[in-house]
Structure 1
């Protein structure tokens, strides 16, 4: 690997940005559902004395869905905003909105306001949305590099998520009982992470994007019908939706099986490490692994993870399952990203925007169903449903592969 990739200031800043924004994502993953359940337990206990946890389990993931809803709205407008103002300014605005959301979250937890907490996590979604765009910036940070070096830089930037995966759950766990109001300390750390991300974005220097009026106009369907784009987007969207379901369900499911917060934190930390550590491996071996093979490897890990989750609800069952899901996500998501970045098209910015919209749309659907499935079916039923979707996804990618 060329040494300049490691020494490039932009790559280092993007790697740190991926790490700190990823820390907020993993912090929210650990804290939002549990904090939502804590808020709802106090509100709904008197209304449902025969089943005090039924409603809190069903609605506990609403804050997570609110985050993804905010992220989805952000990416809907991201391409146009980045085209008009530049990526750097949009990243700075997102950091400020995220900081405001964290302040609202702290206030809502102190005062026991569930709906305000959902609004706070909605605002934090605008910040987490930018985590999706770091993977696209290697080509702008290294404008004169070869495509292979850009892919290596992309893998290195994605690997910055290792820091986020370790930092976020640990900060969330430390902050859980920091103050009288549970989880208020966790969102204080989220506020600090947003501020740090704002600061490290200031010196970032990227190649300016072409003004919209310099780009050829083309029908939207021309972009959407490109087979490489379809396969890349399917891999990214399905991988993220699957990972979101498992990742957000795990803390609640482990709580149902009477595991401690510390046990749930440990599982999530290793899950996030498994998500991002393979990117370091990919940075060295990209020539021998095509994007399509990476996607297939990801599906293989998904299948093994589902069977582990179905047949074991012990601590190690959760641990192994989530680690395998993380590795599977790393292969399928990186494969999809490499495939998308390799498309030479004047519509590349719009394709990236559509890819991000698809990812967050799938995430929103996935997160919205977590609480309902866990409350009415449980962890094993959730994994049986996912097994069916994995099989459908495997069939779909071979259908689209024929056209590439």
Structure 2
């Protein structure tokens, strides 16, 4: 691992590994330590990821189709989803700084409370056919999503440094269950009561209650213990200014790659239900395509961490860019059910490679006492992209159509490729494991 920006005072990962070795912790001992102390927490956190991501999947699948049942401006059908992304931008710094002060456990449960409130508001907006209330519900739900996106950083804090990539990947893999839970609940609930999708938002409320309960059983490191984990000298050092951390080439390139990965994925995912129904296919087909997409997003997480350790993060990220471009090619090849299914599935796999790789690199750019503001800045930038892309998806799908929208995605992926190339040649990436 290359040394970080000298101004930041951060240690390269190789030095951290050497520090652990000096303390008498061999790799085999770390594996046993992980078995004893972290596997249970990672499993429970993955369960929370599964349930929380299900809520997010249900929002993507249901919102545009529920809005057009009463609001006859399809170009704005995804605005509540956009408001959710804007909510992430509004809430991400308060949420991250709250966790820095009181710890992950309380912070994540506050997120679940916001999720419950947001779901209730969404139900109210749909029941009263009030578009602005639904947008307000999306804004409140943004706090819950901001917390959900921090699960991957919390996973890295639960394990020794050797296992960061794997821990991030394992917890992200909780989305595999979300690929089943979310679309299945939408299929079951979308016409359970009237108006359409009212029961879907009620189900989101129940899922946030489950996350709140499960989160109570996870043992996170205390704030003091997490800060001290970096060593006495680093724990005593004052945190660097955010601009110093953010000026590192590795941080800049990693965040750009993460922004474009999530933005492009959100762009395609948000537009696809409207495109599918617009081509004359039933709502059930849109639910099935979202299921395959989410499955593609999270199944690779079972091995993405191993791929990063073996080949390096930038190599895996480059594969992700290539796969997302392949998904666009499938979408441009035709308008059959299988074009949509293949395009969205491959898009999801590409997102996983690109985003998990970018997240892994971001976790090497800060000390524990700098994590709150650094993670918040990362997610603020990522969700500024997704907010824009989710809104533009409905607008461009209505004005341009499915094929021009996918051609526009090619430009985003070319920008992501430039970020990965810059990262690869400006700074060496994570070294392959030996």
Does the TM-score normalized on the shorter chain lie above 0.5? yes
State the 1:286 CA deviation. Answer: 3.9
2:306 and 2:418 map into 1 onto residues whose CA distance is 30
In the alignment, which of 101, 125, 139 is matched to residue 156 of structure 2? 139
Task: Give 1:215 shift.
Answer: 5.5
Q: Which residue of 1 aligns with 2:16?
A: none
**Equivalent residues in 2 for 1:183-202 (5 A)?**
183-202=197-216
1:10 counterpart residue number:
41
CA distance, structure 1, for counterparts of residue 219 and residue 180 of structure 2: 27
Q: Deviation string for 1:80-133 (max 9, x for gaps)?
A: 111122121121111111111111222222221111111112212211221211
C-alpha deviation, 1:29, in angstroms = 0.6
Normalised by the length of structure 2, the TM-score is 0.85
Which residue pairs with 1:170 in the alignment?
Answer: 184
Contact 2:261–2:416 (CA<8 Å) still a contact in 1?
no
Task: Out of 360-369 and 4-13, give the one that drifted further.
Answer: 4-13
2:255 aligns with one of 233, 238, 241 = 233
Q: Name the residue aligned to 2:116.
A: 99
Contact in 1 for aligned 2:323/2:346 (Cα 8 Å): yes
In the alignment, the residues of structure 2 paired with residue 304 and residue 161 of structure 1 have an alpha-carbon distance, to the nearest angstrom, of 22
- Show the counterpart of 2:298: 276
Q: Does 1:391 align with 2:414?
A: yes
**Contact 1:5/1:11 (8 A) holds in 2:** no
Alpha-carbon distance between aligned partners in 2 of 1:214 and 1:77, rounded to the nearest angstrom: 24
Aligned partner (choices 53, 75, 79) of residue 92 of structure 2: 75
Q: Distance in 2 between matches of 1:321 and 1:266?
A: 13
Give 1:29's match in structure 2, choosing from 60, 63, 84: 60
Deviation readout 1:254-301 (Å, 9 max, x if unpaired): 111111111111111111011011110224444312110111000000
Q: Aligned equivalents of 2:147 and 2:241: distance in 1? A: 26
- Does the residue aligned with 2:299 lie in a helix, a strand or coil? helix
1:50-97: CA deviation from partner (whole Å, max 9, x where unpaired): xxxxxx211101111111111221113222111122121121111111
Asked if the contact 1:24–1:128 (Cα under 8 Å) also holds between the matched residues in 2, the reply is no
Runs of 5+ in structure 2 lacking a partner?
1-27, 228-234, 428-434
Point out where structure 1 has 5 or more consecutive residues left out of the alignment. Answer: 42-55
Distance 1:255 1:215 in 2: 56
- The match for 1:49 is none
Q: What is the deviation of 1:136?
A: 0.8
Question: How far has the Cα of 1:139 moved from its partner?
Answer: 3.2
Equivalent position SS for 1:178: coil
- Quick check: 1:233–1:336 contact (8 Å CA) kept in 2? yes
Q: Distance in 2 between matches of 1:148 and 1:217?
A: 24
User: Where do 1:300-319 residues align within 5 Å?
Assistant: 300-319=322-341
Superposition TM-score, scaled by structure 1 size: 0.91
Equivalent residue of 1:347, what SS?
A: helix
For the 8 Å contact 2:245–2:366, the answer to whether it is kept is: no
Q: Give 1:291-330 correspondences, 5 Å limit.
A: 291-330=313-352
Task: Check conservation: 2:271, 2:394, Cα contact below 8 A.
Answer: yes
Q: Does 1:263 align with 2:294?
A: no
Q: 1:215 to 1:273 in 2, by over 3 A?
A: farther
Contact 1:175 1:185 (8 Å CA) reproduced = yes
CA distance in 2, matches of 1:75, 1:28: 19
Q: How many residues align?
A: 387
Between the aligned partners of 2:344 and 2:135, the Cα distance in structure 1 is 26
Q: CA deviation at 1:400?
A: 4.1
CA contact (8 A) 1:244 1:366 kept: yes
2: CA distance, partners of 1:173 / 1:61 = 19
2:189–2:200 contact (8 Å) kept in structure 1: yes
Residue in structure 2 matching 1:115, options 123, 132, 140: 132
Q: Mark the CA change 1:300 to 1:5 in structure 2 (over 3 Å): closer, same or farther.
A: farther
Deviations 1:340-376 (A, max 9, x none): 2233535343322211111111111111211211111
- State the Cα distance separating 1:5 from its structure 2 match: 4.7
Aligned-partner SS, 1:38: coil
